[in-house]
Amino acid sequence: MLRGILRLSLGTAAARALAAVGQLLLALWLTPAEFGYWAAATSVIAILTGLANFGEVNGYLSGQGGTFSGTRRAILNVNTVLACGGTVIAGIYLISGRPEVAILAVISALTIPLVGDAELMYSSGVKLKLYRRVVLAQVLAAVSKVAVGLILALTLQSALAFAVSTVVFYAIMDLAIFRRLPRQEGAGQGTSEAPTRHIRLKWGVNSLFITLPLQASFVVAQFGASAEVLGVYYFAYQISLGLSGLVSVPLARVSLSTLADTRPEERVALSLRLCQFFVLVVTAVSAAFSLFMPLFAGVLGGQWVAASGAVVILLASLPVRMMTPILDGLQQAQGRWWQGTAFNIVDTVGTACAALASFTGDITTLVCAVAGWKVIFGLGRAAWLMRTGRNASLLWVLFFTTASSASIAASQFLQSGLVVLGAVLLASLLSLAVVARWDG
């Protein structure tokens, strides 16, 4: 399992790195307000995107779904309806006097069927362990996305650079993976029975509330913050998501697929080991990236200076957030879809409440509130779901994660911040070496 995640992660790292570089380069030609328009449009459409596939992909990966062709037909039908709903939302933005957001919302809505199909292609590649093909498709799509985005940003200086390049990314990834799937899988051969409507509803609601915690803060902040503050917040959050995406996307898919095949009595222990390992990896990455954020701020210019501290504070919550795909996979593998949904509902509500800090108009207050909630909720969820695991290992994970998150966030308010970040980086690397030796 770890080998599969590692192969996907190393390859995906190239695609995600390109995406992160693309974000930084776009900031050279686009203003924080343009980032804010895109954040406003996608945050609401994301409610529909969260329903994309209506959970069919997770059901397919868990072995409880139907055939490839049957799943693909169900996905297309659902996503077409969602795309129509998205155009209605875009119309509301237009009527309310926000044409820039309306145009972006229309493009995002019409992209939903493409996003859904690409997700199925990605998951099929993971299920068949075609890691090399999945990675190559992602890299090709990421290169194309960055190129198209930069060309449009340079020529139009508009948030259309985000929307159009996103369409390009999913279109290329979809085609690149589908063309390389084995013929029998592409033809839809299989013996699984089609899932019932009740099961599909359970998957769909669970899928929605996995997505909503990521977007809830943007939905609220667009009403409480200026376009500039929302743009800085979106930029900072996307940087943290870009780093987490190096691991979280393959981790979510491979965790669910593997935990579903693991004996029930061994799932919590395996989940705890995964949390221990990936918390250390992400802590090291977060601390290392935070050390260089002042350099990035100097390159981007005055209007983006506030983003530097915001990025580091959000990175402080990243080790805790990295446990989420593992815990989601644990609950889904155990068949506790509604329990997972309940946890994500709480996270959504808490994130939305934390985002009310946007009404202060201060970006630091906003990111501290959101990051603080993510840490508190994430630690509580991990403690509850893995309480049957080894007490010493669980307590160590909770303690290390709390201490490292607090230290990374505090570094932004201390004169010795670089020393603190260096200490966190060293501690995480040493701990990672010890854990790797024990597992070996």
pLDDT of 73 over the 90 cut: no
pLDDT per residue as tens digits for the range 231-263: 989 888 888 877 776 666 667 766 776 777 788
pLDDT at residue 408 in the model? 95
Task: Check whether 190 has a pLDDT greater than 50.
Answer: no
CB 149 within 8 A of CB 163: no
Q: Which of 28-42, 180-194, 202-216, 249-263 has the lowest mean pLDDT?
A: 180-194
Predicted confidence at residue 52, as pLDDT, reads 56
What pLDDT is stored for residue 66 in this prediction? 59
* Each residue's pLDDT tens digit, 346-391: 999 999 999 999 999 899 999 999 999 999 999 999 998 888 767 7
Contact 425, 284 (CB under 8 A): yes
Confidence of residue 288 (pLDDT cuts 50, 70, 90): very high
pLDDT at 403: 94
**CA distance between the termini of the chain:** 14
Q: Taking residues 216-245, what's their average pLDDT?
A: 84
pLDDT band for 6, please (50, 70, 90 cuts): low
CA–CA gap between residue 49 and residue 211 (Å, rounded): 8
Mean pLDDT check: name the lowest of 75-79, 110-114, 421-425.
Answer: 75-79
pLDDT exceeds 70 at position 324: yes
Single out the residue of 222, 127, 252 nearest to residue 182, CA to CA.
127
- pLDDT band of residue 297 (cuts 50, 70, 90) is low
The string of pLDDT tens digits covering residues 145-154 is 999 999 999 8
Report the amino acid identity of residue 396. W
* Segment of 4-13, 67-76, 93-102, 270-279 carrying the highest mean pLDDT: 93-102
Q: Binning pLDDT at 50, 70 and 90, where does residue 5 land?
A: low
- State how far the Cα of 243 lies from the Cα of 279, in Å rounded to an integer: 13
Rg of the Cα atoms in the chain:
21
209 pLDDT more than 50 = yes
pLDDT, average across residues 78-92: 88
Task: Write down how long the chain is.
Answer: 440
Q: DSSP letters along 65-134, please?
A: S--HHHHHHHHHHHHHHHHHHHHHHHHHHHHTT-HHHHHHHHHHHHTHHHHHHHHHHHHHHHHTT-HHHH
User: For residue 181, is pLDDT > 90?
Assistant: no
Q: Which of 75, 92, 86 is nearest to 47 (CA)?
A: 86
Mean pLDDT of 205-211: 68
Q: Of all residues in the chain, what percent carry a pLDDT higher than 70?
A: 78
Least confident of 78-82, 101-105, 343-347: 78-82
pLDDT at 228 over 70: yes
Largest CA distance in the chain: 63
Residue 397's nearest CA partner among 351, 431, 433, 430 is: 431
Q: How many domains does the chain have?
A: 1
Look up the domain containing 39 and give its range: 2-439
pLDDT (mean) for 93-117: 90
Q: Please give the pLDDT value at position 184.
A: 42
- Which 8-state DSSP code applies to residue 225? S
pLDDT band at 323 (very low <50, low <70, confident <90, very high): confident
Q: What is the mean pLDDT of residues 176-184?
A: 66
As a whole number, the mean pLDDT across the chain is: 81
Residue 256: both structure tokens together: 């669910």
Q: What is the mean pLDDT of residues 315-337?
A: 84
Helix/strand/coil for 179: coil
Half-sphere exposure of 326 (CA within 13 A, CB side): 28
The CB density around residue 13, as the number of other CB atoms within 10 Å, is: 18
pLDDT of 41: 87
Residue 138: C-alpha distances to residues 118, 132, 141, 253, 306 (Å): 10, 10, 5, 15, 31
pLDDT tens across 26-62, in order? 887 888 889 899 888 888 787 776 655 555 665 665 5
For the whole prediction, is pTM greater than 0.85? no
Dihedrals phi, psi of 262, to nearest 5 degrees: -95, 145
Model pLDDT, residue 407: 95
The percent of residues above 90 in pLDDT, for the chain, comes to 26
Cβ atoms of 352 and 322 within 8 Å: the answer is: no
| Residue 235, both tokens | 């930029």
